[in-house]
Structure 1
Amino acid sequence: MAERTLGEIAAELVGELLGPDSFPITGLAGLEDAGPQDLSFVVGPQALAAMRASSAGAVLVPEGLEPDRPAVRVADPHRAFVGLLAEEEPSPDLLFPPGIDPTARVSADADVAEAVSVGPFCVIGPGVRLGRGTRLGAHVILEPGVLVGRECTLHGRVTVRYGCLVGDRVVIHPGAVIGSDGFGYLPGPDGMAKIPQVGIAVLEDDVEIGAGSCVDRAKIGRTVVGKGTKIDNLVQIGHNVKIGPHCALSAQVGIAGTTVLEAGVVAGGQVGIGDHLKVGAGAQLGGQSGIWRDVPPKATMFGTPALDVKEAFRITGAMRRLPELLKSWRKLVHDQREKDGE
């Protein structure tokens, strides 16, 4: 980042300056990695030890916390720090130069709006509609009939397959595939017969899809990722899945076909969710949980098979005592046999 003074940052954040106005800031970093001219942040008293051990030149602190170095006091240090980070992102024009690259192949009957960026070697098929302000990285493929809304960002090597719909302000990271065939086969005497997958996949407004993730098209109808949902890298969404608004799915989550996630569901890494299930609104699924039955709204589940988190932790705690209990049991059996003269 370009050098700024702590006073300038305090003014931008409308925070209370605690230290010299002219203190120079040349970077943003976490407490562990920060250097003497970096600005970091402290979320609360639990981070005091980390702050004292840090080499950060200055910190953002919340109300009621006294810093040991130059600082800016704000209501929410993390949120304020994120705002500063956003200013350091590369310019969109650097990553996505305006206009259509001469190596891109754009069908004559594609409807490409104004102010778009189409990168090198993109393929835009017949009947595609591309909304105003949307940006495509290199080697993006939009198959026939795809609709992409306004102000979207599709990074390099994204593929959106035929007929699928992408809303406004959607971000899709490199290598993701939207609308690949669902995994459907009919077993028979001659092996597996493929079930045609003739539905589509729909990404509603403000969705973000991580690198290498796949959202399968429906067998019939729609696979839907709801408004504002955020999906991490390497996530698999099966055919006819319906994901509600504002869900968050961490890396390597897998959701089998025709399952429904209601609004606000959060799933940790490597959660597996079986087919034809319903996960209620606001449920939280701990990492590596195996979901094998419906989950009530606002439940917190953990383990494989997944159970209510309190029950799962009790079972885990009991399992840790099994070696000790087994040893005691063997001693009891031995003592009883000696008593019986065996």
Structure 2
Amino acid sequence: MNLGRLALRFGCGLRGDPDLPVDSVASLAGGPRSVGFFANPALLPELRTTQLGAVVIDPKHAGECPVAALLHPNPHATFARIAALLHPPPPAVPGIHPTATVHPQAVLGRDVEVGPYVLVEKGARIGDRCRLAAHAIVGAGAVIGADTRLLERASVLAGCEVGARCIIHPGAVIGADGFGNARDGERWVKVPQLGRVVVGDDVEIGANTTVDRGALGDTVIGEGVRLDNQIQVGHNVVIGAHTAIAACTGIAGSTRIGRRCMIGGGTGIGGQLVIGDDIVIAGFGMVTRSLTAPGMYSNVLPAQEAHEWRRVVGRLRRLDALAARVRRLEASSGAQQEEDDEQH
């Protein structure tokens, strides 16, 4: 691959030798056969001394780049596409490993790889060129779209559907029972979880993330969604297309999240809420009411030195007493003002 071909393929302007060969991507500390990118002004010193073969960069910063430049107004996304081209995932190696268990009534497409100790149950349908890595599970009647990868110990359980070109990372579980329980006196009665999980095309679900099946209807993950590691998605949640959610977020049942949202790590979202389109929630947020207006939301105090934090907490504890004192002063002031008015 050379710079000229990259520029043509990804719609970049090119400053430099179009015949310069490149074969990898790297950070700004990389070598002369690698491509990097610059999008963070804090890395300007590293840019000025880089020895990369080329840098993907916004034209407004190109004057700071000492090497060849691929010019694009969105350098990060362009770099991601170049990285995917130069470092493609390993293709499926067609065949069924001798330790795998594939039910006779399961249907496998063309060029499917079924790795060691994989389980494919009755009625499952696996699309063309899928890769099922070691110990992956595809439950009865589940559907996996073409070119999807289930990595080690990923599970797509009975009746669930995963679209095309998805990546399900190790340990993820799609379609476990939702947390459905009905109270009967001091006891709990389990509510059967009869719905599915339906995952759209081009979705990536991180390691050890769990997406629970619906109680009656389905839990739905829209196309292009990105779920980081260790996220809990409750039953009947709907996540709109192209939303990205960072690690350790928990979403309670029946909440609907719109399209193109970004939700920071460690956020807790209550049940039966509506999060509109194009909403950004900062990390470690706690969402207890619906949010409908696009914009950024945050409700976490940043870390402070311990003695300063204790003073803040002390003041917070005195707020009720302070408010009562203000009300008494306002009432007294109002009464005094009435006396003054009567005297005049």
Query: Does TM, normalized by the shorter one, top 0.5?
Result: yes
Do residues 265 (structure 1) and 258 (structure 2) align? Answer: no
String of CA shifts for 1:236-283, please: whole Å, max 9, x gaps: 000111112221111111100111112222111111100111111111
Distance 1:45 1:272, change over 3 A: closer
Q: Does the 8 Å CA contact 1:38/1:57 hold for their aligned counterparts?
A: yes
Q: Does the CA-based 8 Å contact 1:39-1:57 persist in structure 2?
A: yes
Give distance in 1, aligned partners of 2:187 and 2:143. 36
Q: 1:29 aligns with which of 19, 26, 38?
A: 26
1:97 aligned onto 2:93: yes
Judge conservation of contact 1:59–1:69 (CA < 8 Å) in 2: no
Whole-Å separation in 1 of the counterparts to 2:109 and 2:235 = 31
What is residue 337 of structure 2 aligned with on the other side?
none
- Quote the residue 1:299 is aligned against: 295
Task: Please identify, of 102-111 and 284-293, the stretch whose mean Cα deviation from structure 2 is larger.
Answer: 102-111
Please name the residue that 2:217 is paired with: 221
CA distance in 2, matches of 1:84, 1:75: 12
Alignment match, 2:69 = 72
Structure 1 match to 2:105 = 109
Q: Which amino acid aligns with 1:233?
A: N
Tell me how far apart the structure 2 counterparts of residues 57 and 131 of structure 1 sit (CA, whole Å).
Answer: 39
**1:12 and 1:296 mapped to 2: Cα distance?**
39
CA distance in 2, matches of 1:218, 1:211: 21
Partner of 1:84: 82
Shift of 1:103: 1.9
> Is 1:134 equivalent to 2:130 in the alignment?
yes
Contact map agreement 1:272 1:291 (CA 8 A) in 2 = yes
Distance 1:175 1:40, change over 3 A: same
Cα 1:56–1:159 change in 2 (3 A) is: same
Indicate the residue corresponding to 1:338 in structure 2: none
| Other structure's SS at 2:44 match | helix
Encode CA deviations 1:139-195: one digit per residue, 9 max, x unaligned: 111111112222211111111111112222222111100110111223344533322
Q: Give the distance between the partners of 1:282 and 1:21, measured in 2 at CA.
A: 39
Q: Tell me the secondary structure at the aligned position of residue 66 of structure 1.
A: helix
Shift of 1:291: 0.2
User: Is the Cα contact below 8 Å between 2:32 and 2:51 reproduced in 1?
Assistant: yes
2:325 corresponds in structure 1 to none
Contact 1:239 1:258 in 2 (8 A): yes
Q: Which amino acid aligns with 1:74?
A: L
Q: Distance in 1 between matches of 2:50 and 2:262?
A: 32
Q: Supply the AA of the counterpart residue of 2:190.
A: K
1:116 CA displacement: 1.5
Which residue, 181, 187, 190 being the options, matches 1:185?
Answer: 181
The equivalent of 1:308 in structure 2 is: none
CA distance in 1, matches of 2:145, 2:153: 18
Question: How big is each residue's C-alpha offset from its partner over 1:88-128, in whole Å with a ceiling of 9 and x where there is no partner?
Answer: 325533xx311222221111111222222211111111111
Measured in 1, the distance between the counterparts of 2:16 and 2:267 equals 46
| In 2: Cα distance, 1:131 partner to 1:24 partner | 36
TM-score between the two structures when normalised by the length of structure 2: 0.79
Change (3 A) 1:67 1:139: same
For the residues of structure 1 that align with 2:163 and 2:8, how far apart are their CA atoms?
37
User: Counterparts of 1:12 and 1:74 in 2: how far apart (Å)?
Assistant: 13
- State the distance in 2 between where 1:144 and 1:273 align: 31
Q: Could you say if the C-alpha distance between residues 164 and 268 of structure 1 is closer, same or farther in structure 2, counting changes exceeding 3 Å?
A: same
Alignment partners' CA distance in 1, 2:129 and 2:14: 39
The CA distance in 2 between the partners of 1:80 and 1:258, in whole Å, is 36
Helix, strand or coil for the counterpart of 1:215? strand
TM-score (norm 1): 0.79
C-alpha contact (below 8 Å) 2:232/2:248 kept by paired residues: yes
Q: Distance in 2 between matches of 1:213 and 1:150?
A: 22
- SS of structure 2 residue aligned to 1:41: strand
| 1:54 to partner: Cα distance | 4.1
Pairing of 1:168-317 with structure 2 (within 5 A) = 168-189=164-185, 191-303=187-299
Amino acid at match of 2:283: G
Name stretches of at least 5 consecutive residues in structure 1 with no aligned partner. 305-311, 314-318, 330-342
The sequence identity of aligned pairs, in percent, is 37
Segment of structure 1 superposing worse, 287-296 or 236-245: 236-245
1:221/1:56 Cα in 2 relative to 1: closer, same or farther (>3 Å)? same
How many residues align? The count is: 308
> Within 2, Cα distance between the matches of 1:189 and 1:272?
29
SS in 1 for 2:83: helix
